[in-house]
Amino acid sequence: MSDETVNVRYMVDDVEAAIAFYTRHFGFSLISSAAPHFADVRRGPLRLLLSGPTSSAGRPMPDGRKPGPGGWNRIHLIVEDIEAEVDRLRNAGVTFRSDIVTGPGGSQIVLDDQAGNPIELFQPAGRP
């Protein structure tokens, strides 16, 4: 991996389902798979590490807390046409946390991957 690669780890319930979700819906390519424990996928400079419950990243913390999917930290994907992307993904059965919100910088919407991890789609202002 180069210094220009951004690595993000997501905890997932099912590594194979996560691979399918990201490659099918968002154009990620599979780098490697050690399913059901771990896989990594790439889209441009983003390397997404998909860690299942049996991965080393899934081990309980010293205080007993267990890492799991969900939360609000998210990957942020720029799209050309947010309404078309939302329609495409809704038709594919993807679950959204919000409706499209528009502000001075552009429009955004938050959706969940199959494990409940958030993804933000963002269309910068000034694009049709």
Q: Tens digit of pLDDT for each residue in 64-116?
A: 998 999 888 899 999 999 999 999 999 999 999 999 999 989 999 999 999 99
Average pLDDT of the chain to the nearest whole number: 93
Q: What does pTM read for this prediction?
A: 0.85
Tens digit of each residue's pLDDT (9 = 90 or more) over 12-28: 999 999 999 999 999 99
Q: Residue 2 — very low, low, confident or very high, per pLDDT cuts 50/70/90?
A: low
The pair of three-digit structure tokens given for residue 24, joined into one six-digit string: 């099918």
Burial of 49 (0-12, 13-18, 19+ CB in 10 A): middle
Element (H, E) at 118: strand 118-124
pLDDT at 72: 85
Domains of the chain by start residue, with CATH: 6-56+69-124 (3.10.180.10)
